[in-house]
Structure 1
Amino acid sequence: MPNQSVRIWDLPTRLFHWALALCVVALVVSAKMNAMDWHFRFGYSVLALLAFRLVWGIFGGYWSRFTSFLHTPGQFARHISGKEDHSTGHSPLGALSVFALLLVLILQVASGLMSDDEISVSGPLTRFVSGEWVSTATWWHAKIGQYLIYVLVGLHVLAIVLYAVRGKKLVGPMITGDKQLPATVRPSRDNAGTRFAGLLVLAACTGLAWWVSTLGSF
């Protein structure tokens, strides 16, 4: 059966992906430049995006749902050995990368909200936790979390390059949403209703991030 264009990544997922990439870069740059006001703004933006992805991982397009890329150890082993191909959504390695990056980013944002540099800036949640928690969060945020992000992002980029060398393009489908696949592959729903739902979810998550940002002023 000849391949045809199949919608895999819905528009909300694609916009999330690129917005998150830009915000993470902006977070690193603002931290290195000591532009902490902007660092916090981008941090709240990442908080909103992560909250969106957690919700969209349940209700989004089929291939964006977490259940679509939960792989068994056997599938993982067969994929590593080259005995099983996963060319539709996230491969077992890709899924592992996604979960690891989401987890590390969640920890980094949470630790940032509880961090205090004891000079000029502190996160909005520092007043609600003990000094020990603040100290641990500050240590993690500055000494551990950011370097884990560097490693995971580096591995992510390396994987994209390696897949491209093998003739499997990952960037293009994350821009257009489509892959050339057999017609029997289930497409993700990506219509006006889906996109409006994504906008509503993002608005709610943005409101959540804004509310968190105001906690320090109460």
Structure 2
Amino acid sequence: MIDELWHLVQIPLAWIKWAKDQGLWDFITAGSGVMISVFVLGGHKKKIPEFSVHLTYSMGTGHKNYPNVLNIELRNLMDAPLVIGRPNFKFAKGVHAGRYAHGNTATGDYEIKFRPMGTDGLPIPGYSYTHVMLRHREQAYSYLPLTDDWDEQALLTAIAPQRRWGLFKTEKGLGTLFLNVVLLKDEKPRVISMAVPVIRLQRGVEAPRLGREWG
């Protein structure tokens, strides 16, 4: 038995020695480094300094159509304006939207519309838009209806880290918020695509302003 185990251990060691003798070990090591770098860099989402995306949840709002919502607040802290465009949301597998969420059957994502916020911190009455310009310190707000039958515990359970292969946990989250941010600081506008994973949510206001005129 011991001899068999020793033979199995020697197989990978012999292969490593052969690869080194053939000059392949450095190539394999370099290739592994490149693959790891691509994996790590690919996992990072583009961020914009001084542009804030704040996500919270409100459960039991009292609104008959939107009892549970994901609150989305944007804030521009740069000294130059920017434009938000093409916002949409894609839910994680197994997570469902509320009945009144505007879904796109063709793409599987959900429509997001923003409304500018006033100095009182409340959305300004009027229509909401998929494109909105934010000047210095200006804010915009939107919300996405979550499934009606959730309570807070059901939400926290849905976004709790999931264990894979019994080794480590990964954060599932609600899904991903996608935005195109057009920076107007330079002479030539620059578009940055953002993908914001919705994880580690905090509780927001209990009764956000969800009027009938929103649309």
> What's the TM-score, normalizing by structure 2?
0.24
Q: Which of the two has greater helix per residue?
A: 1
User: Which structure is larger by alpha-carbon Rg, 1 or 2?
Assistant: 2
Q: Which of the two has greater strand per residue?
A: 2
Larger RCO (CA under 8 A, 6+ residues apart):
1
